[in-house]
Amino acid sequence: MGIKKKLLIAVLAIALSGAPLDAAPEYLPRRSPVKYPIKAKDKIHMIHNKMSVSAYSVRKTKSKKHQRLTATQTTPIVGLTVAISRDKKHLLGRTVWIDGVGTREITDLMGRQWTNKMDVLVATRKDAKAFGLKKKVRVILL
């Protein structure tokens, strides 16, 4: 089941239950870091403790013909897409939880000069600069 489907099911369950939004399940993305936002039934395959995480934005083009695609040939989605350095390209297509960011899907690759790093897609360049560079971040492969 894809990450979008899991999030949609969780949001619908909360809406139908009538519970307040601050009572959301732990696996929903949050702005503040959570120790472990996964359930016991989820399988943790690998934990990377010392990855650097920064943000990037995609410039809009005038024509759909030259629209930017990710390494997996999909359109980048703000709040879901993550680019990973080429030394970790074996993780392409996997879902990860990034401490302080939330659950994302690795669908893009970074330039060859970067190692042990992830880039989170944000809406604007201003947001990317505000995000900055976070070092030694815990990344859990789901």
pLDDT value at residue 79? 86
Reference 101, options 78, 124, 74; nearest CA is 78
For the question of whether the overall pTM of this predicted structure is more than 0.95, the answer is no
CA distance 89 to 77: 19
Given 3.10.450.50, 3.30.43.10, 2.40.40.10, 1.10.3720.10, which CATH number is that of 30-141?
Answer: 2.40.40.10
Tell me the pLDDT of the chain (142 aa) as tens digits.
Answer: 666 677 667 666 666 665 554 544 555 454 444 445 555 445 555 666 788 999 988 876 665 655 678 888 888 888 889 999 988 888 888 888 888 888 999 998 988 898 889 999 998 889 989 999 999 888 888 8
CB 134 within 8 A of CB 100: yes
pLDDT value at residue 120? 93
In the block, tokens 């403790």 appear at 49
- C-alpha of 120 from chain center: 6
